[in-house]
Every structure is written in structure tokens, then in C-alpha cells.
Amino acid sequence: NFSRVTEFILLGLSDTRDLQVLFFTLFFLAYALVLLGNLLIIVTVRSDPKLSSPMYFLLCNLSFLDICCTSVTSPRMLVDLLFQRKAIAFEDCIAQLFFLHFVGASEMFLLTVMAYDRYAAICKPLHYAAIMNRQVCWVLVSACWAGGFLHSIVQTLLTIQLPFCGPNTIDNYFCDVPPVIRLACTDIYVIEWLMVSNSGLISLVCFLVLVTSYTFILATVRVRFTEGRWKALSTCASHAMVVTLFFVPCIFIYFRPFSTFPSDKHICVIYTVLSPVLNPLIYTLRNNEVKASMRKLWKRC
């Protein structure tokens, strides 16, 4: 594409050495928690036959996506925090951009499917076994991965056809669409709006579907179930908190023109680091069945 740029320089979160050491410690602990927590969920669900319902099948896939999502950005960020010059090759930058959007969009779709699963279980309990059988679950999960791939390949193709002839400094700690296309030495108005309509609309539509499903769930619980109302309300509130932390920053970053706003690298920390840490805590520690299976697995080991 006639680009003369062979590498990009990542500015990272801070150029102060003391802050870099602090960030390295915090993000290393967060990354370790993401890996250990989500691996524990996957092993627990796979080892206990009682956790064979569609909800736990989807939870297992969410844990795998969380591991993939944070592994796209965190290892590179941790290595860069140890060095002053944070260079990334052009090809590596594009690869990071592709896999970030691939896994991120797949997780958005999967969270939407999980909300639909809870809606079917609570609002249509008599038809739940027919609505969400194992075959349907595999189809929905495959559709999530396919949708994530289609979204990501569009973003990547729109990016790599742009010419980059300098400067090559990215004001972020990873390669993403907004800071990368700002460096293109051409008019990006049309490309920018194509990307906004792609990433921004996906984030917004998925978030609205999630909010709608939780609204129906709470309305059903309020009418039908008196005893378990507070428990369901507490569970939905915790799930909604994690979903909000994941979707709202994405909507804020991608559902607006890229070139007219400064870098949002500190907001990116929320959905690349904080949200993957909270997912295992919210979806398992508040679930008695998973905690009981974890205790059995610990005794067996």
C-alpha cells in the first residue's frame, strides 16, 4: 500500500519510571488473576457433569474469550513497561489490531447470547429445553466467532489499505483502529465513518439488546417470583455492572469520529484489563453451584 513506515512507537500509559513500575505490578497481577480465574472456571465446568446446562457451556466459552482478549494486549504491555523504547513492527501491529477486534467482537456477541439464554430460562421456562439445547448452543457460539471474524477482517482490510508515510507514534499501549488510522497520510473521512458504523453500531446494538433482555427478566421476576426476587435482582445487577464496564467504554471510543478526539488509552484499560478480571468473580463467586463444584474439585485434587 506504498507505506514507508515499518514500525510504530507505542507511548504507553506513562513515561515516568516510577509509574511504569507501579503499572507493571498492577497489570501483572491482573493478568495472572484473569488467567488463573478463567482457567479454573473452564476446568471446573468441564470436570463436573452437573454443570452441563447451556448457561455453563456459554460461561466456559466466555472464560476462554476473556483469556484470549487480555492475552492480545497484556503480555505486550507488560514487556513494554520494562523498556524505554516501545517499538512494534507494522505487521505485528496489524496482527494485534485484527485479533483484538476478532476476540472483542466475539465476546460482545457471546454476552448477548448469554443474556438471551437467561431470558429464555426465566421468562420461558417450559420451553427452555427446546429453545436452548446443546445443538442450538453450538450454532450460537459458532455464529459469535464467525461474526467476530467478519467484523475484524473488515476493520483490518480498511486499515491496511491506508498509506503510512510518517509520523509513526501511537499514543496508546496497544495497536487499535482509532490511533492507527490517525497516522495515515491521506484523507480518512470515509474510512473513519465506515469503521464507526461497523464497530460503534455493533457495540451499541449489542448493549441495547442486553439492556432489553435484563429489563424483561426483571419484569418477569417481579410479577411471577416473590421469594427469589431479591436474589435475581442482585444477580442481574452484578451482571449488568460487568456488561456496562465492557460496553460503555467501547461505545464511547468507537461510536464517534476518531480524528477529532484525543487518545483514550486510560479508558481502554477498563475493557482490556478490568472487565476480564471482574468476569470470573461476578459469574462464579455469586453462583453456589460453581462454588460447590470448585470445592469438590479442590478436595479431589
Each residue's pLDDT tens digit, 67-111: 999 999 999 999 988 887 788 999 999 999 999 999 999 999 999
Each residue's pLDDT tens digit, 260-278: 566 678 888 888 888 888 8
Each residue's pLDDT tens digit, 29-46: 999 999 998 998 898 888
Cα distances (angstroms) measured from residue 286 to each of 39, 234, 281, 292 = 17, 9, 7, 11
User: Hey, CA dihedral for 190, 194, 195, 201, is it positive or negative?
Assistant: positive
| Secondary structure of residue 228 in the 3-state scheme | coil
Strand order in the sheet with 7-10: 87-89, 7-10, 169-170
Cα distances (angstroms) measured from residue 13 to each of 20, 27, 32 = 8, 12, 20
What single letter denotes the amino acid at residue 47?
S
Domains delineated in the chain: 7-299 (1.20.1070.10)
Instruction: Look up the pTM and report it.
Output: 0.89
Each residue's pLDDT tens digit, 159-196: 988 888 878 888 888 998 888 888 888 888 888 888 88
For 12: left if phi > 0, alpha if psi spans -120 to 50, otherwise beta; the answer is left
